[in-house]
Structure 1
Amino acid sequence: VVGTPGRILDHLLKRTLSLEHLEMLIFDEADRMLSMGFYPDMKRIQKYLPARRLNSCMFSATFPPHVVRTASEFIHKGEFISLSEDHVHVTDTEHVFYTVPGMDKDRSLIRIIEIENPASALIFCNTKAEVHYVSTVLQNFGYDADELTSDLPQKDRDRVLERVRKKTLRFLVATDVAARGLDIPDLSHVIQYEPSKDLEDYIHRAGRTGRVGKAGVAMTLVTHVETFVLDRIAKKYSIDLQQWPLPTDADVAAVVSERVTALLEARLRDRDAQKTERSKRFVSLGRSLAENEDESAIIAMLLDDYYQQMLHAPLPQPSEPSKAPSDKGQKKPRTGASRNRPRPRNKKRR
């Protein structure tokens, strides 16, 4: 049986599917199955699994730290197997870059963040003015972002760093003042809005993620003129830099639609009979709004407001690992620093 979490759960609730004789459980694109939208459904499906030992596998190109922790709820002491073209090992940090239009770099950043949907990210800029600009762009778009520069008063700097330590700040935009000595636990993404002027600074910036053996991804946005800087960095430090295609508006719309549909379907299943009956008052109105092109903007507004609200909700925290005996047959996936996004196509290496 192959299906999405929502459809599998629907059949389980309707008793048209039984997992009594299940022998193998496979999570494909596991980083997405255990991320926003799908996680609640996965926990409900877990209640229908047999109590006996199962051969369970999770597959994904890479894994962000919070998903690795959450995976322990489904696989007890699973083994990590990392596969690449010519060797087997765990890669702590992926190094990738996007070639972006110089006049559209801010919008490109937003599209990348929308696709990646990182639990947290440190965004580097070369100047204080750029830090303030990027931070403002993110805030205006509805993201929880703050800035850190050497000009920031000590009181404000302490406030920002306290939010970082408590993991209540999602995006920190900073100059290279944050490239050394700042330790952010479980930081999944480092994004360089522009390449550093000093080649060595690239290493310090990227080193903020993938710490203590944890997975991470270091991204750099470059214009066509700036690509030669990455060539020098890749050659000097023997870094395998991969080029990922820049997401389009259509890519973002597809991913966002998938997420919000999963969230809404899960919410619908949680409604009791009284709420379901009450909501029937609006079926006719909903159909009317959807059929009218002018009024469809109302539906789009409601979906956007709901998505923004859920997007910034705290990520579900994994429960304590089970003390049940280890399942030797269980395996965890290829690891790295994945995101809740489709795998990029046509990667180019440097």
Structure 2
Amino acid sequence: MENETPNTTPDPEAERPEPRLEDLPEVLRLACERAGWTALTPVQSKALPSLLESRDMMVQARTGSGKTGAFVLPMLSRLDASRPECQALVLVPTRELATQVAREAEMLCGPDGPRVVAVYGGVAYGPQIDAFKQGAHIVVGTPGRVLDHLLKRSLTLEHLRMLVFDEADRMLSVGFYPDMKEVQRYLPKRRVHSSMFSATYPGHVLRLAEEFLHEPRMLSLSGAHVSVAEIAHTYYEVPAMGRERCLIRIIELEQPAQAIIFCNKKSDVHFLTAVLQQFGYDADELSADLTQAKREQVLARVRDKSLRFLVATDVAGRGIDIPDLSHVILYEPPEDREAYIHRSGRTGRAGASGEVISLVDVIQKLELVRIARLYSFELIRRELPSDESVSEVVAERLSSMLEAELRSKTPLARERMRRFLPLAGKLAEEADGRMLLAMLLDERYQGSLTAAPALPGERSGRRNERRNENRDERRDEGDRPRPEGAAKRRRRPRKRRGGGGGDQGGGGQDRQD
């Protein structure tokens, strides 16, 4: 079955006594003292024995569980601080997380231990290159900027000993998979001790593990039992007015690979579908107003993953099997308590993980709590993201996307682009000019929202890659000098065949790289 854990085995020594802080080697105990830790967290005590023995691992752990300590502490016993070279690489999805992990790693390493550098886009290369020259032992960075340094040869992974993927599920939602595969090409030919930390292990994360880890052992904080089938029930408290704008902010932050959004009323379905489409998202609706033929057509797009967001009433709540559906979003709680179970049951199917997100006001929150008590599941409250935090996430996502595209440009294309550097600088100095730049960036970003981020092993992702390769080949051909007379031949009008089918890949929107 596709969603079963690939090539993972439970740790046969999971039943052995878990180490206490005082049982650790001295260098690790001193690190914990520097951090002010008086005891190990569950994820640390369970993961450390295997990690210290250089076993590849998949660890299911949420933010705030102490997972950074779980993968940094083994580095202290494995890395050689006397050798000025990168020996550990930690890949993370955002610059904020890179800064946070690097700060905690510096605290654990201390002044005489391995040196740490945070590497991410949107800032100057100079300080990061200087840190490499001084001999950064632990590099914590986003895949895109790490890849930039590898291409520039300012960073080498020749001496790498440990590789960590932190919050792998979020990394894929940002769309870093192509960059992660590129980084993999620069890894040493020998085996590198690798581990993965993720809050959930849906199918695409499991497939990623299979590509990067060697016979990993799975560790779940649910005890000795290994469980990848998990539905997280979360909620956001939103104001009564402007609920649709709150949903957009949540979607921007969460970046669901694919979701069903449930509404109680047909009017809300129509309205919300229009709002999502206006914001550039690939969304369609399903309600009792549609004919059966139209319903089947929409559901077929959901099943083959060509539709990212389905907005529906409870017509779609029963009897629909959509593999690997990552999210179910409740625009408001259902009027019938039992309907919550039917709605949430659309995700987490066939052994996969999933998440149910509910939007509630003060009164609806009380009803949601009663539903949770009735069906005995845990509710997780999340803070509604601010416009500022969403802007930061969008800026980082767009920067990564544009940096990836810039790396793919030919030298001649880069030379052509330099003509516009004076104009770009001039526009950046004026308010009206900055608005023009913002317009171009917005159009580019909206074009990336029409499909979910490319995930490993998906047919649509491979199809998009082939489309991009063909487009790049056409672009490269356009950059090459043409023989005399070729320009005239190009200006000659061409007859359309087959009713204007033409080239479907060249004039469309670019996919997110």
TM-score (norm 1): 0.86
Structure 1 residues 42 and 108, CA, compared in 2 at 3 Å: closer, same or farther? same
Query: What percentage of residue pairs aligned between the two structures are identical?
Result: 58
Question: Residue 30 of structure 1 contacts residue 58 of structure 1 at CA under 8 Å; is this kept in 2?
Answer: yes
Larger RCO: 1 or 2 (CA < 8 Å, sep 6+): 1
AA matched with 2:377:
I
Q: Does 2:359 align with 1:215?
A: no
**Residue 13 of structure 1: which of 141, 148, 151 is its match?**
151
Question: Residue 229 of structure 2 contacts residue 352 of structure 2 at CA under 8 Å; is this kept in 1?
Answer: no
The answer for the alignment partner of 1:161 in structure 2 is 299
Task: State the distance in 1 between where 2:183 and 2:371 align.
Answer: 46
The answer for the alignment partner of 2:433 in structure 1 is 295
**Residue 50 of structure 1: which of 178, 185, 188 is its match?**
188
Q: Equivalent residues in 2 for 1:45-194 (5 A)?
A: 45-83=183-221, 89-90=227-228, 92-194=230-332
Note the C-alpha offset of 1:285. 0.5
Task: State the distance in 2 between where 1:199 and 1:85 align.
Answer: 31
The answer for the alignment partner of 1:269 in structure 2 is 407
Question: Residue 98 of structure 1 contacts residue 246 of structure 1 at CA under 8 Å; is this kept in 2?
Answer: yes
The answer for the alignment partner of 1:332 in structure 2 is none
Moved more, 157-166 or 183-192: 157-166
Q: Equivalent residues in 2 for 1:278-289 (5 A)?
A: 278-289=416-427
DSSP-derived class of the 1:72 partner:
helix
Task: State the distance in 2 between where 1:317 and 1:91 align.
Answer: 19
Moved more, 54-63 or 74-83: 74-83
Structure 1 residues 85 and 221, CA, compared in 2 at 3 Å: closer, same or farther? farther
AA matched with 2:406:
L
Q: How many residue pairs end up in the alignment?
A: 320
DSSP-derived class of the 1:243 partner:
strand
Note the C-alpha offset of 1:77. 4.3
Task: State the distance in 2 between where 1:71 and 1:302 align.
Answer: 36
Deviation digits for residues 72-114 of structure 1, max 9, x if unmatched?
2222443332226999754510000111001111111111111
Task: State the distance in 2 between where 1:154 and 1:319 align.
Answer: 32
Structure 1 residues 63 and 283, CA, compared in 2 at 3 Å: closer, same or farther? farther
AA matched with 1:29:
E
Task: State the distance in 1 between where 2:454 and 2:363 align.
Answer: 42
Note the C-alpha offset of 1:33. 3.1
Q: What is the RMSD of the two structures over their aligned residues, measured on CA atoms?
A: 2.1
**Residue 232 of structure 1: which of 370, 373, 392 is its match?**
370
AA matched with 1:93:
I
Question: Residue 34 of structure 1 contacts residue 71 of structure 1 at CA under 8 Å; is this kept in 2?
Answer: no
Deviation digits for residues 110-167 of structure 1, max 9, x if unmatched?
1111111111100111111221111111112211111111231122112112212221
Question: Residue 19 of structure 1 contacts residue 50 of structure 1 at CA under 8 Å; is this kept in 2?
Answer: yes
Task: State the distance in 2 between where 1:130 and 1:251 align.
Answer: 27
Note the C-alpha offset of 1:295. 1.5
Question: Residue 64 of structure 1 contacts residue 215 of structure 1 at CA under 8 Å; is this kept in 2?
Answer: yes
Question: Residue 32 of structure 1 contacts residue 38 of structure 1 at CA under 8 Å; is this kept in 2?
Answer: no
Question: Residue 280 of structure 2 contacts residue 449 of structure 2 at CA under 8 Å; is this kept in 1?
Answer: no
AA matched with 1:124:
F
Task: State the distance in 2 between where 1:310 and 1:98 align.
Answer: 26
Structure 1 residues 234 and 182, CA, compared in 2 at 3 Å: closer, same or farther? same
AA matched with 1:293:
A
Question: Residue 325 of structure 2 contacts residue 354 of structure 2 at CA under 8 Å; is this kept in 1?
Answer: yes
TM-score (norm 2): 0.59
AA matched with 1:82:
S
The answer for the alignment partner of 1:195 in structure 2 is 333
AA matched with 1:56:
S
The answer for the alignment partner of 1:22 in structure 2 is 160
Structure 1 residues 217 and 317, CA, compared in 2 at 3 Å: closer, same or farther? closer
Note the C-alpha offset of 1:14. 2.5
DSSP-derived class of the 1:57 partner:
strand
DSSP-derived class of the 2:374 partner:
helix
Moved more, 43-52 or 254-263: 43-52
DSSP-derived class of the 2:253 partner:
helix
AA matched with 1:197:
E
Question: Residue 308 of structure 2 contacts residue 451 of structure 2 at CA under 8 Å; is this kept in 1?
Answer: no
Structure 1 residues 41 and 241, CA, compared in 2 at 3 Å: closer, same or farther? same
Task: State the distance in 2 between where 1:280 and 1:184 align.
Answer: 47
Structure 1 residues 85 and 285, CA, compared in 2 at 3 Å: closer, same or farther? farther
Task: State the distance in 2 between where 1:216 and 1:265 align.
Answer: 31
**Residue 172 of structure 2: which of 31, 34, 38 is its match?**
34
Task: State the distance in 2 between where 1:282 and 1:85 align.
Answer: 58
Q: Specify every segment of 5 or more residues in structure 1 that has no aligned partner in the other structure, as ranges.
A: 321-350
Task: State the distance in 2 between where 1:207 and 1:313 align.
Answer: 24
Note the C-alpha offset of 1:258. 0.6
DSSP-derived class of the 1:103 partner:
coil
Q: Specify every segment of 5 or more residues in structure 2 that has no aligned partner in the other structure, as ranges.
A: 1-137, 459-513
AA matched with 2:370:
R
